[in-house]
Amino acid sequence: MNDLKKYVDYLQYQKNYSSDTIQSYYNDILEYFHYLEREGLDYREIEYNDLRFFLMYLADTMKLKNSSIARKISALRSFYKYLVKEHVVESNAFSLLTLPKKEKKLPRYFQYNELEELFQVSDLSTPLGQRDQALLELLYATGVRVSELVSIQLEDIDSSDRTIRILGKGNKERLVSFGDYAKEAMNVYLRDGRKQLLGNKNSSWLFLNHRGEPLQDRGVRYILDQMIKKTSLHKSISPHMIRHSFATHLLNEGCDLFTVQKLLGHASVSATQIYTHVTTDRLKDVYYHHFPRAKK
């Protein structure tokens, strides 16, 4: 268990993973340790054949979907890679496993009109309403991850250039741009709402909670949940849905895939390619308007 604690510290302080990702890794590894304890196995002496039975346990006993099994194996593969690096084990048995094929799921996103309804619900006469509006506008304008959003500090923002320096996964920096709507919402929040939330405190963080402390990932999710309850939309909402909407709408308006990749901060374009499946309306529109024999 001491190795697990060291690994969590490694993810937090060296890999700069979000708190939600770290918690997910921790839960998966802890569940694995409980399985090993029941089976009388030592995590430092695991072999490939042991893992075959572990896979059977996940699929047959736990009844997990392929996507959940793949996530757990990926977390454990990373954990053992760390153990090899720290000379705790000699080899990474999980590297020999083939991940089960994930069920393909298209990313969920909002239509333009649905987002417009969301943008109308905040009470801009209150500090929290001003914050919520700035938060939503910035999420949609930049497509940043929720962990990146709550990590923004005032010094990261260049208002004249309308860019924000973002520290993404693996401590990789990138610049994201924001437009007129986000700039206006941020100006109102910085000029009024944020000062009221801050009170007599000092803070360099952009987004604050009602106590004037840095807003956390869960706080953002709660804010979005409360916002969608004020609309007529019968949909769940998450920060990642806003991110999906950002990418999908860019592609629908003709933006190329490689540019969207850079804006999202994806290391590889393969991670961005999933969004090509949700732009069929755009493709049909282009086809019927430009192919000479599409219509009589």
**pLDDT tens-place string over residues 79-117:** 999 999 999 999 999 998 887 776 667 788 999 999 999
pLDDT value for 279: 62
What percentage of the chain carries pLDDT values higher than 70? 96
Give 9's pLDDT tier (boundaries 50, 70, 90).
very high
Evaluate if residue 191 carries a pLDDT over 90: yes
Question: Is residue 279 within 8 Å of residue 252, measured between CB atoms?
Answer: yes
The residue type of 74 is S
Give 277's pLDDT tier (boundaries 50, 70, 90).
low
Inter-axis angle of helices 2-13 and 19-39, nearest 10: 160
Give the residue numbers marked as catalytic. 145, 169, 240, 243, 266, 275
- What domains, with CATH codes, occur in the chain? 2-96 (1.10.150.130), 112-285 (1.10.443.10)
Among 53-67, 195-209, 265-279, the range scoring the smallest mean pLDDT is 265-279
Q: Which of 20-24, 252-256, 280-284 has the highest mean pLDDT?
A: 20-24
Q: What is the pTM of this model?
A: 0.67
pLDDT value for 276: 73
Evaluate if residue 291 carries a pLDDT over 80: no
